[in-house]
Structure 1
Amino acid sequence: MKTISVRGAQEHNLKNIDVDIPKNSLVVFTGVSGSGKSSLVFDTVYVEAFRRFADSSQASYYVMGSSQFAKMSRPRFRSILGLPPALGLSQRQGVAGKISTVGTISGISDLFRVYFAAFGEFFCRKCDIPLKALSFNEVSKKIIEEFNSKKIMFIAPIAEKRKGLFKHEIEKFRELGFSKLRINGEIFDLQDESIKINIDAKKLNTIDIIIDFLLISNDKKQRIDRAIFQALDYGKGILKVEYANKIFIFNTKSSCPQCGESSPKIDPRYFSHSSIGQCEKCEGEGSEQSGLPADLFPCKLCNGTRLNPLRPIVRVCGKTYEEIHSLTMNYLYEFIDSDLKNYSFNDKSKEKVFSEVFRSINSIKKVGLNHLILNRSGASLSPGDLQRLRLSSMISNKLSGVMYAVDEPCQGLTTNEVKKIIQIFKEIIKDGASIIAVEHHPSFLFECEILFLMGPGAGVHGGQIVAKTTDPEHLKDLLAKQQLQKVVPKIELPPSMPVRIPKQVKKNLKVKKSDISLEMSPKKQESALIIFSDICLRNLKTKNISIKQGVITVLRGESGSGKSTFLDICLLPALYSMGGRNLETDSLNLPKFEKFCKVNKVGDIFINIIGYVKPGSMTRSSRRSVASALDVIVPLRELFAKLPASQVMGLTESHFSWNSKLGRCDKCEGRGYIELPQRYAQPVRVECEICLGAKLNSRSLLPRFKGVNLADIMNLTLDQALEIFENHKHIASKVARACQFGLGYVQLGQGMESLSGGELQRLNLTIELKRATLDGAWFILTHPSTGLHGPDIDILGELMRVMTERGATFILVENRDEFTKFADNIIEFKI
């Protein structure tokens, strides 16, 4: 079939959709946030593609078992025909781990570890000269000379920090007649049958066989040689000698001709900062303080490399593993395309690894990440860079006949960078693949081959395909009409919003405390600004930057121009040093910005609360719902506990909590679903057959408020909840704020993992807003356009504009042109 034919799609808010998606084309689904794009592309088409692959392959029986697979629920649709194998890249993959790097995320570090361990040239870490092979006679002579008249232990290393039970190895040496076995420093008698040797297979274990223990002298040369021979044989060329609780290694394959020091047996794990090669001081983070960039604040022991400095020096083409990981992608590409290419020539083993490295680096260059280094922390990447890095890993292997489902590949990109992504997608399509993308960037929409516009609204007001077009001019008309139809509502902040007036402002107000309201906030002072000068930071070319108070400032520029670096290293620490605080975090790990810039204040700068909001910064947990994020769970439980029915039944607040044994469903333990574990994939979730997703037990579901129980309320949208609780100001005020951000269609009980990036962004801002006074409130948003369509941006922009008029300050890291009309100040970052 030439199309993927979907009939009767009803997942989430989809309204029985019928759609034919062309294959071997660049197909884009767009529309307002919550209109059903991800529900169709990811939760229906992509999920069903994975389910069918697992179902049709024998792997499914090993992955989760046939009985479990029979319970695996499929998405809600009538039929899907012509569905190819699929690879997905969703925003919901979350943020990178604290010790993840560009190299580990892309998989390039794994390839280099193999290459260095197998083909690298070893050097002495003391003398920095090449190690050479050591003969048996040389080992024997050195031991007799160095340990003459000393009692030493000959040891054969069997396992060096490896997982496993090692039952076969233990039984083998017992049968050979050896009596002493050492496991993680503890010696066991192999011939004593009453002793049970238990090894924790999940831990890294070091196992040695003690060959002999004797006093060294020339008249015992025959016994010494026999012990050396056995140790080298069982230790695969490596012998350990222990004297006075010190270990001396003799490696017949690599020994220093000058000082005689031998290296341990090197495998790829010695180059891993998450394994035995990890620097013990920084635990693989590379920085002097947890959470700070390794290249700007390097750990003194490892110098930011993340690796143990006591490892042997290994070089390939004159460069160490650490040096390669400090090169930008441009320089690394040149090194690989010349030196490493020549070094691997005519060697099939080397060429196999080399081709994988070259293909991966080339993919990273194509997606425009030339400024990155392999050692760069994954947690320091902007959401757009992280998305593109994962995209490069996905496309490095050119696969034909597959479908790529991609979520917002253009987030955070400039128009020129978007064009590069489009060109890459077109090359992939030429190779026989299909691409279905969820995207909002206008430049991307006008270049796609087929576009589906979803809507017309969000949540219950969406879930339909409004239009389909292949004509860019028709697309312009559609988007223009949608902008006109989507009237931006008048933004009025809830009157119940807490306002704390600064002391210096209170002195100038001759009014009673009860008369203070939002309208009395002082006018924004555009003349007040913070000047950052003499900036010396990575590749940042802009040396002087001024940030104005009380306005909307947009930081623009291509990836690698220094926007996020300036934000994290200079701006944020400076704001906190001026009295700002983040109520979400008790303690902050802030760098010393004085090392990288000078800061001066002009005018009356006041900073009270700092709201730093970025996509993915909120935990996407299924146990955490929108209601809990908005802090309305506790008021709801209090309300239900006070109902007459609850009083009669003796139900307390705990009986209305799915985290309490008193209230939760015993079958699913308050989750609402049962997880079916899989060996090689994420667990599959099936709705609980007892509570049917309600999470609570039957007693807790009996009390009702206005005819509905607590589970019914959690299924309400925020708009519906606002109507029900209009007389409960404590609940209504919190829900109203989220509705102001256009989230009225989201359900109260919706799990955080089901929200799109744009929804998370706005919910994050709502949470920050509920705590902050607008006077002295500084909000910093990175890529606020994530997941937002044109009308959504208008709603967010109008709200920010109203808030700045009331005293707030906004700083946006954003490249979408739609934000320009809301910006009072634009700062361009250039490469």
Structure 2
Amino acid sequence: MGSTIKIQGARENNLKNVSLEIPKDKLIIMTGVSGSGKTSLAFDTIYAEGQRRYMESLSSYARQFLGNSEKPDVDQIDGLSPAIAIDQKTTSHNPRSTVGTVTEIYDYLRLLYARIGVPYCPEHGEPITGMTVTEMVDQVMLLAEGTKTTVLAPIALGKKGTFKDTFARLMKEGYLRVRVDGEIRLLEELEPLEKNKKHDIEVVVDRIVRRDNRSRYYDSIQTALNIGEGMAEVVTDEETLRFSSNYACNICGFTVPKLEPRLFSFNAPMGACPECKGIGTIQKVDLDLLIPNWNLSLNEGAITFYKNMTQSSNQLWQRLEAVCDHFGIDMDAPIKDLPKKQLDKILYGSQEPIQFSIYNTKGLERKYDEPIEGIVDMIERRYLETGSSWSRDWYETFLSEQECPSCHGARLNREVLAVRIGGKNIYEWTQMSVVQSIQFIDQLELTPTQRKISDLVLKEIRSRLNFLKNVGLTYLTLDRLASTLSGGESQRIRLATQIGSRLTGVMYVLDEPSIGLHQRDNDRLIETLKDMRDLGNTLIVVEHDEDTMRASDFIVDVGPGAGIHGGNIVAMGTPQEVMNNDNSITGRFLSGKEKIPVPSERRKGNGKSLQVIDATHNNLKHVNAEFPLGTLTVVTGVSGSGKSSLVTEVLTHTIQHHLGKVRTKPGQAREVKGLEEIDKLIEISQEPIGRTPRSNPATYVGVFDDIRDLYAQTKEAKLLGFTKSQFSFNVKGGRCEACQGDGIRKISMHFLPDIYVDCDVCHGKRYNEETLQVKYRDKTIADVLEMTVEEGIEFFSSISKIRHKLQTLSDVGLSYIKLGQSATTLSGGEAQRVKLASELQKKPTGKTVFILDEPTTGLHSSDVRKLIEVLQRLVDTGNTVIVIEHNLDVIKNADYIIDIGPEGGDEGGQIVAKGTPEEIVQCPQSYTGKYLKPLLEQ
């Protein structure tokens, strides 16, 4: 096999028939400005061809399930190895998926607890052991002394089958009573059970125990327990106890089933908490959502559910009036002034029957004498019972996710949580961070037998935890929901999993693994990538981080520009060779010939500030932070230090709540001062600008409205009687009805991902033939949607309103995207910049706060320079910009920095340093200052 990968004639997307040769078993960086074609080369060409060849190696039977991969537009690729892509897609949106399950560490923990776990009685705190059948019978007879007692010994619980042999055995033993699915039945009456239905079958021994007939039942109980494999539920007049030959408390009879791995799974019925079914949370009415303004009275609409309801129009309101009348509740008093007992009657019901009348819309009376259900209970009940998606969405507006009252978020039942290793149950283990878990394993005291049993399992757990540590994820806990991970975090988790596999001869393709990493953590990541390379693998990494580029073996610089101006190989070779190439903008930034300047002065702000007082959300340790208004403030710190907790959860959500967004719950802090200085908050996240193919940059920034106006004013449109709505692909009239204006059709593939194909009527143009007759400067409106932003600026150069809006997209580095590009195809960073462009068009109020979370994601240094200019422009017009960022070029341009740390997780949550960049570098405890210092000295 050759030592290089040869690509000939690659034309995927904007690639211009490029040919190149890259070395194998090396760390290769593919870089270039945003939209230059580097992802098209790395993922859409090299990886796609590797995947296609793998698919073709499978049988036709296997391919029918996996689907066929299309050949990328390339003449030939030689020297390909098996390919694995590690991209930034969020690991899972499943609420049952956690860091522990994704990394498979939780599977090893389940095995560990099943093999060496020790059950403890939750009441008495004593280790519990199994009882023999004889001991159990003695205990039952003692408990049943002088009381009516029933012994239920399970034979089959939740199993499928007819159980003919079981019944034959019971008849032979002389039993006459059996409980099947909760119903007592005589054996003679039993018909064959449905084979494919699960059943619960138990032997029933019923009797009254007296001293003179003790021996009469002894043998029958013993036989029942033997048939039930040492398991029984004993029901006396006074209590119900469970007995087990596995584990049972000698004092109270608390039992734990046989320890096996599935018992410790919150996804299995035998292990999951019965109330939340293993989710850890339940949907409950949130009083802050139900009653957003406690100063209002019931008649003024304090309870939003009753808003706009009157006696003549709604029977629910009449029931509320009946409760208030019966209990003497003043409906005109502010709800905050009502006594708790009265408020509870409204919220949780009357309990006792009430006599009241209900009048329908025709005035007919119907009398009732019954308890009236409280509003809280009614919403929660109807939410679960309704079959209407509209109603369900409506009830959901009053609900929030709350910790399960039974398991308190542990997801597991009481019996599972009774099993411990080193004093911790499996849930308490998953609550520890990666670093804490490693320390816990190192300090674990086990018996020689336990050590021998667990040695291999502990070794595997420690190994996987160390991989997570090495990719900068020391702060993550194993119970962290996978859906809450950022793209960079989920990518590094998959990277850690791949390291654990220790494969060789593989080609890994990665998409910006440095996203979300502080420079300190990035150094660890680079070492990890080198380790994977040294195992004998080829790593192709799409990346903009300069440190990663300098540490690489080979760089491919794609460009020189974006979109139609890109798609060529500008430079390639070792980092030094690329630095020596003046045609490469990447090389010029790497060599220092081109750089982002440090501002000549730092703004002091307008003298006012937002002040967070005593923030304790997540890992924040009583943080007091000040955000000066009228400045560019950057919040930074190592991964997991608490930046998002402070800025997003506490500050942003508090401002949103203050501005009337009542469904947003602020993070924990005593107070946020200065809110009166804010009249508008713009949070520019990396969430998609839309979740359907119809959403696109042109519609989001509002320029498409102006373009439709323009087309409606043309002579052809007026002759045909077309209005502005004719040129909308969202409503009937001008759109193609075959695809309803999508331009594509979705083909459901059931258990495979949905496939999108061009509409075979409009061929992706979205409009019908009549609409496409109308042209402006010889272009249809469908042609306009196919234009890039840059082409649009030139095409509409004479229409200032349109040109201005398109220019804002260009200003944020998006000149290469198409006006009609589907929102679902935009990266998180691109979506964020579209939102930024939309806000740039609006007139500043002087009291607006912009909050951005890592806006440099996916940006080349030249694009970062443009972004910084845009952010500075926003501040120059009187706004306040607060940015969570690790990029040193953005940090050095800040007026004010808040550095959080010193580490991630429990070891973070404190302000390490604050002030101007020049003041931060003077703080020896600041990792940010350490990496920032050389840039300021330059």
- TM tier, shorter chain? 0.7 to 0.9
Contact 2:90-2:490 within 8 A present in 1 as well: no
Please, which moves more after superposition, 662-671 or 785-794? 662-671
Contact 1:663-1:697 within 8 A present in 2 as well: yes
Please, which moves more after superposition, 110-119 or 536-545? 536-545
State how far apart, in whole Å, the 1-side matches of 2:865 and 2:721 are: 49
Aligned length: 761
Distance change (3 Å), C-alpha of 1:54 and 1:342: farther
State how far apart, in whole Å, the 1-side matches of 2:184 and 2:729 are: 52
Q: Mark the runs of 5 or more structure 1 residues left unpaired by the alignment.
A: 161-165, 200-205, 489-522
Distance change (3 Å), C-alpha of 1:689 and 1:766: closer
Query: Pairwise mapping of residues 309-388 of structure 1 onto structure 2 (< 5 A)?
Result: 309=414, 311-339=416-444, 347=452, 350-378=454-482, 381=485, 384-388=488-492
Contact 2:153-2:232 within 8 A present in 1 as well: yes
Following superposition, the deviation at residue 678 of structure 1 comes to: 7.6
State how far apart, in whole Å, the 1-side matches of 2:568 and 2:741 are: 35
Structure 1 counterpart of 2:382: none
* Among candidates 203, 206, 211, match of residue 203 of structure 2: 211
SS, match of residue 760 in structure 2:
coil
Please, which moves more after superposition, 807-816 or 647-656? 647-656
Provide the alpha-carbon RMSD of the alignment.
Answer: 4.5
Distance change (3 Å), C-alpha of 1:327 and 1:801: same
Larger Rg: 2
State how far apart, in whole Å, the 1-side matches of 2:235 and 2:76 are: 70
Structure 2 counterpart of 1:805: 876
SS, match of residue 564 in structure 2:
helix
State how far apart, in whole Å, the 2-side matches of 1:402 and 1:691 are: 43
Contact 1:655-1:700 within 8 A present in 2 as well: no
Cα deviation code 1:250-305 (max 9, x no counterpart): 3211111221222245554554455542484697456999999xxxx977754554
* Among candidates 243, 250, 262, match of residue 243 of structure 2: 250
* Among candidates 627, 636, 640, match of residue 547 of structure 1: 627
Contact 2:137-2:222 within 8 A present in 1 as well: yes
State how far apart, in whole Å, the 1-side matches of 2:771 and 2:154 are: 66
* Among candidates 678, 681, 702, match of residue 610 of structure 1: 681
Structure 2 counterpart of 1:714: 785
Cα deviation code 1:431-485 (max 9, x no counterpart): 1111111111111111111011111111121122111120437427544776699
Distance change (3 Å), C-alpha of 1:23 and 1:338: farther
Query: Pairwise mapping of residues 93-108 of structure 1 onto structure 2 (< 5 A)?
Result: 93=90, 100-108=97-105
Structure 2 counterpart of 1:446: 550
For 2:232, give the aligned amino acid.
Answer: L
Structure 2 counterpart of 1:428: 532
Contact 2:689-2:696 within 8 A present in 1 as well: no
Contact 2:741-2:767 within 8 A present in 1 as well: no
Structure 2 counterpart of 1:509: none
Cα deviation code 1:366-413 (max 9, x no counterpart): 123223332344555555444433332332221111122111111233
Contact 2:155-2:203 within 8 A present in 1 as well: no
Higher relative contact order (CA 8 A, sep 6+): 1
Structure 1 counterpart of 2:669: 593
For 2:442, give the aligned amino acid.
Answer: D
* Among candidates 609, 617, 638, match of residue 558 of structure 1: 638
Q: Mark the runs of 5 or more structure 2 residues left unpaired by the alignment.
A: 172-176, 289-401, 597-602, 903-938
Structure 1 counterpart of 2:341: none
Query: Pairwise mapping of residues 621-632 of structure 1 onto structure 2 (< 5 A)?
Result: 622=693, 624-630=695-701
Cα deviation code 1:284-337 (max 9, x no counterpart): 456999999xxxx97775455454456451112332213322333223112223
TM-score (norm 1): 0.79
SS, match of residue 260 in structure 1:
coil
For 2:82, give the aligned amino acid.
Answer: P
Following superposition, the deviation at residue 747 of structure 1 comes to: 1.6
* Among candidates 74, 80, 85, match of residue 82 of structure 2: 85
Structure 2 counterpart of 1:493: none
Following superposition, the deviation at residue 42 of structure 1 comes to: 1.6
Distance change (3 Å), C-alpha of 1:197 and 1:746: same
Structure 2 counterpart of 1:61: 61
* Among candidates 254, 261, 265, match of residue 254 of structure 2: 261
Following superposition, the deviation at residue 803 of structure 1 comes to: 1.2
Query: Pairwise mapping of residues 521-540 of structure 1 onto structure 2 (< 5 A)?
Result: 525-532=605-612
Distance change (3 Å), C-alpha of 1:248 and 1:543: closer
Distance change (3 Å), C-alpha of 1:685 and 1:143: same
Please, which moves more after superposition, 740-749 or 698-707? 698-707
Please, which moves more after superposition, 302-311 or 709-718? 302-311
SS, match of residue 803 in structure 1:
helix
Cα deviation code 1:201-255 (max 9, x no counterpart): xxxxx741143464455434444444333333xxxx5334567999743321111
Cα deviation code 1:675-697 (max 9, x no counterpart): 47385xx5273634724851748
Distance change (3 Å), C-alpha of 1:129 and 1:828: same
- Is structure 2 residue 742 aligned with structure 1 residue 741? no
SS, match of residue 410 in structure 1:
coil
Distance change (3 Å), C-alpha of 1:243 and 1:816: same
Contact 1:640-1:703 within 8 A present in 2 as well: no
* Among candidates 672, 675, 685, match of residue 755 of structure 2: 685
Distance change (3 Å), C-alpha of 1:139 and 1:300: closer
Distance change (3 Å), C-alpha of 1:696 and 1:561: closer
* Among candidates 133, 137, 154, match of residue 156 of structure 1: 154
Distance change (3 Å), C-alpha of 1:541 and 1:243: closer
Contact 2:555-2:573 within 8 A present in 1 as well: yes
Following superposition, the deviation at residue 549 of structure 1 comes to: 0.8
State how far apart, in whole Å, the 2-side matches of 1:193 and 1:695 are: 64
TM-score (norm 2): 0.71
Contact 2:273-2:413 within 8 A present in 1 as well: yes
Contact 2:789-2:817 within 8 A present in 1 as well: yes
Please, which moves more after superposition, 39-48 or 173-182? 173-182
Distance change (3 Å), C-alpha of 1:356 and 1:728: farther
Distance change (3 Å), C-alpha of 1:650 and 1:633: closer
State how far apart, in whole Å, the 2-side matches of 1:730 and 1:247 are: 77
Aligned-pair identity in percent equals: 28
Contact 1:668-1:695 within 8 A present in 2 as well: no
For 2:109, give the aligned amino acid.
Answer: F
For 2:744, give the aligned amino acid.
Answer: G
Contact 1:360-1:396 within 8 A present in 2 as well: yes
Contact 1:10-1:16 within 8 A present in 2 as well: yes
